[in-house]
Amino acid sequence: MLRHPVWGAICLLAVLLVLCTDKLCTDARPSAYALLVDDDDEDDGDGSGSSSFSFSSPHETPDELAFGFYDGTCPSAEAIVASTVRELFAADANVAAALVRLFFHDCFVHGCDASVLLDRIGGGKSERDAAPNRSLRGFGAVDKIKARLEKQCPGTVSCADILALAARDSLVLVGGPTYPVLTGRRDSAGSFYDDVNIPAPNATYAMTLSAFARRGFTERETVALLGAHSIGKVQCRFFRDRIYNFAGTGEPDDSLDADMVGEMRAVCSGDGAAPMEMGYYRQGREVGFGAHYYAKLLAGRGILRSDQQLTAGSTVRWVRAYAAGHRGEEAFREDFAHAMVKLSALAPLKGSAGQVRVSCSKSVE
Q: Is residue 356 a known part of a binding site?
A: no
CB neighbourhood size of 277 (10 A): 17
Q: Which residue has the higher pLDDT, 52 or 277?
A: 277
Residue 294 in contact with residue 333, Cβ under 8 Å?
no
Residues carrying an active site annotation = 105
Residue type, 138: G
The upper half-sphere exposure of residue 181, i.e. CA atoms within 13 Å in the direction of its Cβ, equals 26
pLDDT at 167: 98
pLDDT at 284: 63
**DSSP, residue by residue, 24-49:** TTTTSPPPTTTTTS-GGGS--SSSTT
Task: Give the pLDDT mean for 267-288.
Answer: 70
Spell out the long-range contacts of 264-267 with Cβ–Cβ below 8 A and sequence spacing 24 or more.
264/236, 264/239, 264/303, 267/236
Q: What percent of the chain has pLDDT over 90?
A: 59
- d(Cα 95, Cα 93) in Å, to the nearest integer? 5
SS3 73: coil
pLDDT at 274: 53
The upper half-sphere exposure of residue 182, i.e. CA atoms within 13 Å in the direction of its Cβ, equals 29
pLDDT of 52 strictly over 50: no
Q: Is residue 188 a known part of a binding site?
A: no
Q: Which residue has the higher pLDDT, 255 or 59?
A: 255
Q: Is residue 110 a known part of a binding site?
A: no
pLDDT tens-place string over residues 239-265: 889 999 998 999 999 999 999 999 889
Distances (CA, A) of 291 to 56, 99, 173, 335: 26, 20, 16, 11
Domains defined along the chain, listed by start: 77-195 (1.10.520.10), 205-344 (1.10.420.10)
Q: Is residue 41 a known part of a binding site?
A: no
pLDDT of 168 strictly over 80: yes
